A and B are shown apart, each in its own frame.
Chain A
Amino acid sequence: MTVPKKLVLIGNGMAGVRAIEHLLKLAPDTYEITIFGAEPHPNYNRIMLSTVLAGSTELKDIIINDWDWYKENNITLHTNQSIKKIDTQRKVVISESGIEAPYDEVVIATGSKAFMLPIPGADKEGVIAFRDIQDCEKMFSAAKSYKKAAVIGAGLLGLEAARGLLNLGMEVTVIHKHPYIMERQLDEAASLMLRKELETQGMKFLLSKHSASITGRGRVKELQFTDGSHLATDLIVMAVGIRPNVDLAKSSGIDYNNGILVDDFMNTNIPHVSALGECVEHRGVAYGLVAPLYEQGAVLAKRLAGVETAGYAGSVTSTKLKVSGVDVFSAGRFVETEGSRAMRIQDDVAGTYKKIVIRNGKLVGAVLFGDTADGASLFASIKSGESIEGREKELLLGISSDLLGKSGGGASRLENMPDDEIVCGCNGVTKGAIGDAVLNKGCHTFGELKACTKASASCGGCKADIEGLLHFYAGDKVGESAKEGICGCTSLGRDEIVEQIQSMRLMTVKEVMHVLDWNNKEGCSKCRPSLNYYLGMLFPEEYVDEKESRFTNERYHANIQKDGTYSVVPRIYGGVTTPADLIKIASVAEKFNVPLVKFTGGQRLDLFGVKKEDLPKMWEELEMASGHAYGKTLRTVKTCVGNTFCRFGTQDAMAMGIKMEKAFERLNAPAKFKLAVSGCPRNCAEATIKDLGVVAIDGAWEIHVGGNAGVKVRACDLLTTVKTEEEVMEWTSAYLQYYRETGQWNERTAHWIDRVGLDTVKKALEKQEDRLALMERVQKALSVTTDPWKEIVDNDELRKNFEPIAGPLPV
């Protein structure tokens, strides 16, 4: 065994510890880790400090890694220890109190310091920053004995501090040198709306004011401005910005400018000394948002783990914030300049505002106020640099232009519907029950109605009718629906979640739920499997699949039946079998007394009524791969006999089908998907109602997509026609991967294509380079899959879960 190398992390904050967590996953035993933190706390979520100040959470709620985490990972933690110097010659880190820690690798993650205005009196008692827990504590104690507070700086941090001080019962005045607040994140209109909202909450503002000096004997008494005016105050919070903390670089001979200078791999100019987070400057930029810091951490962790990685190339950032309960969002160049045009809607009644800025037919910036639901999609559009010509109104209004100007029409139908008619077929909810819930149980939003009656809670197909009935019964009383997220645990939609996971490189379901502030921290049976899928899709090689976040069927690799027994479907590639396999299946069925053997709709044999404890034993005897008849993955590739025997066949459909099934088996997807290959246009394999169907014509293959024969039949759309088998594989790979990357969890391709549009799919796959890139990604995802049946058969730890516990003993 090799001796672990010594890794020292200076700074116990979000960026550094996050990188360590990542490193532990990639290379668990490579380093002996020591962490120095200047504060007396374990790693906490600095972003959430404002909620501590606002009183809605306590310190313990914002701890990210508790003391046990350090212990469990054998990390030596020194709290209350600032580092004085790194002796890069002797490779030793020296703390203020004299602790010396030798290192093989050292990482500087000392973050940033609050910038204090260098004005006379800034050192008086009662003048503080808003940066750490100690600052929060000072504000708490000031609020107990004093009345008046002033906050200098009306950026995000300043406004959060002001809001917190209001909550503590102080009179708060915010001073800002600009004529409007949060000018770095908002345009003038949105800024004004925010100011009005904050003023109604009790905040006072002094704008275009420059602070000159602070007076008072010992403690602050007055703040003087350059125009000669002044403000009486007992507490001053300076929130005028942060500066990278470069003290250590200064004392240790490491190059710095505004921040510690690093290359794309987080190396400083000294070997074995890396840096990341708010203390660094990368390609001239010092970041103060968490997402870029996490991206840097991922690169550093990989480098330290010896895993090959592309360098960090900088981040494009957007700002999505909640300021005193108001959602604001901005991205890109949101202030109009020459050559750009803007479109905006402002609704002072609802308190919403939206502006998009267009230049050369492309979206270059956006500001949202009050309702930020469209933020993620607008940001994606800005980053992609795609042309939005012809879709400008759609983007602004958030509605497809086809729907604009169309009237409802369904109202009278709903009105005439008898009370006992079932509106939601899945849960048997009648029109009368909806009426009762609205009129007598106080349900005034779609969400409340859904929670109360279960209407639209399963397949969601009746959503439009339920919403129609809500309006019919409630009329003007219809409440503003809380924005619907992927489930009741969050208000975030699929795209927002995926984007955040990606940019912050969140690595577990739990972490996503915490960082994205789930209102139900345990999640539910909807979001947990969704997140598990998205994480696996985004990080196929690093993410560790969580079987606890999968449904029964996917945990036991068989379909649970209503009586608690399971069904077993072995893989029969392309539906083509052999006498030997048939004999094997038959004898296993007999041996285990399988009560029903049936051919499935997808040309497979299904053995029903199997006891859970018999599953691994059957798999062991079958020695066949799992048919995955239970998962959100490739189910079957159905084939016709093709030109092998059929006189009409034009191509070898069976071989093509088998090739496809072997290529894509075990591939996780948003939902199950079924393929088929027909050898001629007579289409005996019914390929045109599959998620992807291939139909051979003389000398070519047609590729059809988005079909479904389920609840509502949807015939496929023709995607393309190609000449060779290789091209069939290329297009199929690209199509499946594009679906994997853009589909919502549990969304079949038929719904997906209707949602994103066939043209979007065609466009995404039109260039060969794009297809090959998608193909490479799907290959990566496939390369890490293994046959689950075999895995369980060979592993007693997994196998035990199929058996009841041996037996109770009286005590």
Chain B
Amino acid sequence: MSKLLIGKLSDIDIRGSRTVRVKETEIALFRLEDGSVLAIENRCPHKGGLLSEGMVCGTVVHCPLHDWKVDLQSGLVKDPDDGCVMTFDTEIDPEDGAIYVTI
């Protein structure tokens, strides 16, 4: 486990997302309306859709390929489908808005 400095809050639009690659894993970072940033593996368990490109409703992202719904907090796929993706702990420095992800 290591903690990485990924970027700063202003890199991500509110209700938007950005990606970052750490070795083999592509991570999608989402900045929610409440200011929090959540990180998950950028791969839908269904057909590998890029979740970073999906629409975010609350804490759920809709996969752009077939509308599977993945909860950004738990990484669990919502009913009626099932599956899960990896989630990563995030931290935001309240001073300078730096985003840290633990991998």
Contacts and interface: CB of A to CB of B under 8 A. Distances in A.
Interface in A442-463: 451-454
A551 interface: yes
Contacts of B16: 548, 801
B77 interface: no
Interface string A512-552: 00000000111111001100000000000000000011111
B11 A809 contact: no
Interface stretch (A83-91, A399-407, A556-564): A556-564
Contacts of A521: 58
B11 A525 contact: no
A451 B80 contact: yes
Interface string A779-811: 000000000000000000000110011111111
A810 B55 CA distance: 30
Nearest to A510: B33
Contact of A809 (B5, B59, B62): B5
Interface residues on A, range: 20 to 34
A810 B18 contact: no
A810 B11 CA distance: 18
B40 interface: no
A715 to B, nearest CB: 31
B67 interface: yes
B55 A549 contact: yes
Given A453-B80, A523-B57, A808-B5, A560 B22 contact: no
B55 A806 contact: no
B79 A451 contact: yes
Interface string B43-69: 000011110011111111010110100
Contacts of A563: 48
B5 A801 contact: no
A808 B4 contact: yes
A560 B64 contact: yes
A259 B10 CA distance: 50
A550 B62 CA distance: 12
Contact of B64 (A520, A522, A551): A551
A556 B47 CA distance: 21
A225 B53 CA distance: 68
B101 A452 contact: no
B62 A805 contact: no
Contacts of B82: none
B58 A811 contact: no
Nearest to A804: B19
A418 to B, nearest CB: 24
Interface in A556-581: 556, 560, 562-564
B18 A804 contact: yes
A806 B64 CA distance: 24
A528 B55 contact: yes
Given A562-B65, A808-B22, A801 B13 contact: yes
A805 B19 contact: yes
B77 to A, nearest CB: 13
B65 A805 contact: no
B20 A805 contact: yes
Interface in B49-103: 49-50, 53-60, 62, 64-65, 67, 79-81, 100-101
Contacts of A564: 48-50, 53
A556 B4 contact: no
Contact of A811 (B4, B21, B55, B60): B4
A544 to B, nearest CB: 14
A811 B5 contact: yes
B45 to A, nearest CB: 15
A522 B58 contact: yes
A525 B20 contact: no
Interface in B1-43: 2-7, 11, 13, 15-16, 18-22, 29
A551 B64 CA distance: 7
Contacts of A811: 2-5, 100
Contact of B20 (A454, A529, A804): A804
A584 B18 CA distance: 31
A806 B22 CA distance: 11
Contacts of B15: 548
A562 B47 contact: yes
Nearest to A529: B55
Interface in A634-651: none
Tell me which of B2, B80, B101 has the highest count of chain A C-beta atoms within 10 A of its own C-beta.
B80
B38 to A, nearest CB: 14
B55 A548 contact: yes
Interface string A656-687: 00000000000000000000000000000000
A560 B56 contact: no
Contacts of A453: 80
Nearest to B19: A804
B65 A454 contact: no
Contact of B11 (A528, A549, A550, A805): A805
Interface of B: 2-7, 11, 13, 15-16, 18-22, 29, 47-50, 53-60, 62, 64-65, 67, 79-81, 100-101
Interface of A: 451-454, 520-525, 528-529, 548-552, 555-556, 560, 562-564, 800-801, 804-811
Given A560-B50, A564-B50, 5 more contacts: A453-B80, A525-B67, A529-B55, A551-B64, A564-B48
14 contacts: A452-B80, A454-B80, A522-B57, A522-B59, A525-B57, A549-B55, A551-B64, A801-B18, A805-B11, A805-B20, A807-B20, A808-B101, A809-B5, A811-B3
Closest 6 CB pairs of A and B: A522-B58, A548-B15, A808-B4, A525-B62, A552-B64, A552-B53
